Structure 1
Amino acid sequence: MCARFSISSPLDMLRTLFSFSPDFHFSPSYNIAPGSQVPIIRKDIATGEAVVSNAQWGLIPGWSGTSKPRSNLINARLETIDIKPSFKHAFAGQRCLIPCTGYYEWKTDSLGEKQPYLIFSASNPLFFLAGLWDTGSAPQEHDLDCCTIVTTEATGTPAEIHSRMPLTVTRDYFTEWLGGMDRTSVPSPSYRETFSYYPVHKKVGNVRNNTADLIEKINLDEQPSQGSLF
């Protein structure tokens, strides 16, 4: 699964690919956790143009009658995305891209302790996760745009850390993913990122920590023991 990631690049990198209002703001964040506001790129339902907006990470299906995200809807498994009631509607017409500069996974070491790693694109400092979005609402409450990250079976380098990985979309496949309605528009491996990784400090496990040093490579020999994921 993907339960923590970073967006450390300035918005100028997004502006080279998409146009959006100067009123839109998103500060670098090095430890994005479920429930956080994140930027997403989606097709505007009225115009069909790609737009950039903020959404809360944790999908709330529009039919659920609530504005509270469920923690188990931060990820959507690609294998069942078109049949699960929580995701199939969004998969058929409400897809998005979620910018990312790296995501974190934990691996249990030989001493039984969980060591975090930053996994990042081998070729693009800013890459894009495949996502779904929806608008949850409840009586007498404001509508709330929300999103989830699509995950798939890990292959290549990430498989050394975890059995799952985010589905990614390369820049030459944005239109197909955002406009797709079924599995024929799921990017093949040739339209996905390849990854590298390195170990990072265990303090990334505390969601209150959100500083630039979280994404720095560490020497495992200097890593303190007994880190906590949350």
Structure 2
Amino acid sequence: MCGRFALTAKAKEVEIFLGLAELDDFPPRFNIAPTQPILMAVSTPRPEGSNLPRRRAALVRWGFIPGWAKNPRDMPLLINARSESAAEKATFRAAMRHRRTLVPASGFYEWRREGKGRAQPFWVRPRKGELVAFAGLMETWSEPGGSEIDTGAILTTEANSDLAPIHQRMPVVIPPEHFSRWLDGVKYEPRDMADLLAPVEPGFFEAVPVSDKVNSVANVGPDLQERVEIDFEGPRSEGKLDTQLSLF
């Protein structure tokens, strides 16, 4: 699962990495939480012969609301979608077909259960320090009054062997060479995406134990990613961290 992540790269780095039109500068974000705005890259039509980028940036609410929802308060907070079933679920089916996105990140946080009532957080980052792109889905929800809000979720898959001792799920990582295929809902159907929904190879990420300051959304500084010493090796969690971070 992915319940918190970070994006600390500069706008120009993100722009180049995702092949976006020019991005405005934005501050580093060390503790991005559900319901907050997150950056997504989406495919955009390009006139023939144009040199404009084929992708644009969208700022969306992290918490997916399907277009058919009458009242979001009656639904759980959908920050993640299981990649194995998203194409069949009524909630995500249309977005999986037409509105696949990329979510730039510097890494994510995950918690390992270590006994009753205790969870050790880890900062999970690319071992080489590069940006990554999580597989995302986007949906525009229309309020009864007529206003619209763009919303999104991050797709998850089974954890690889490196991260399985911490948690059984992890975000789906889309390699740069497959950005275009993932975003192209015209040429490629969800069934063509199966190979991209597998766990990233072992060794790609490293998990750094960090303090529980990350548990509070009020804490947003770089100190959240500082390594701490841990002396308890407990079993990984087989349940959810809390009800807010439930998977659909």
Query: TM-score w.r.t. structure 2 length?
Result: 0.81
Q: Which residue of 1 aligns with 2:21?
A: 20
Q: What amino acid maps onto 1:58 in structure 2?
A: G
Q: Which residue of 1 aligns with 2:238?
A: none
Residue 69 of structure 1, CA deviation:
9.6
Within-5 A mapping of 1:182-201: 182-188=190-196, 192=200, 194-201=204-211
Percent identical residues? 31
1:105 to 92, 101, 110: 110
> CA 1:141/1:209 → structure 2, altered by over 3 Å: closer, same or farther?
farther
Residue 199 of structure 1, CA deviation:
0.3
Residue 165 of structure 1, CA deviation:
0.5
Whether the 8 Å CA contact 1:169–1:191 is kept in 2: the answer is no
Q: Which residue of 1 aligns with 2:123?
A: 118
Whether the 8 Å CA contact 1:2–1:104 is kept in 2: the answer is yes
CA RMSD after TM alignment? 2.6
1:207 to 193, 212, 217: 217
2:64 to 59, 64, 77: 59
Are 2:178 and 1:170 equivalent residues in the alignment?
no
Whether the 8 Å CA contact 1:56–1:146 is kept in 2: the answer is yes
Partner deviation per Cα, 1:122-155 (whole Å, 9 max, x = no partner): 2342101000001011122421111100001111
Aligned to 1:157, the other structure's residue is in SS state: coil
User: Aligned partners of 1:56 and 1:187: how far apart in 2?
Assistant: 28
Residue 160 of structure 1, CA deviation:
1.7
User: Aligned partners of 1:190 and 1:65: how far apart in 2?
Assistant: 33
Residue 29 of structure 1, CA deviation:
0.9
Residues matched between the structures, number: 223
Aligned to 1:176, the other structure's residue is in SS state: helix
List alignment gaps of at least 5 residues for structure 1.
222-227
User: Aligned partners of 1:63 and 1:46: how far apart in 2?
Assistant: 29
Within-5 A mapping of 1:28-177: 28-44=28-44, 49-66=54-71, 70-109=75-114, 113-177=118-182
Worse-superposed segment, 43-52 or 102-111: 43-52
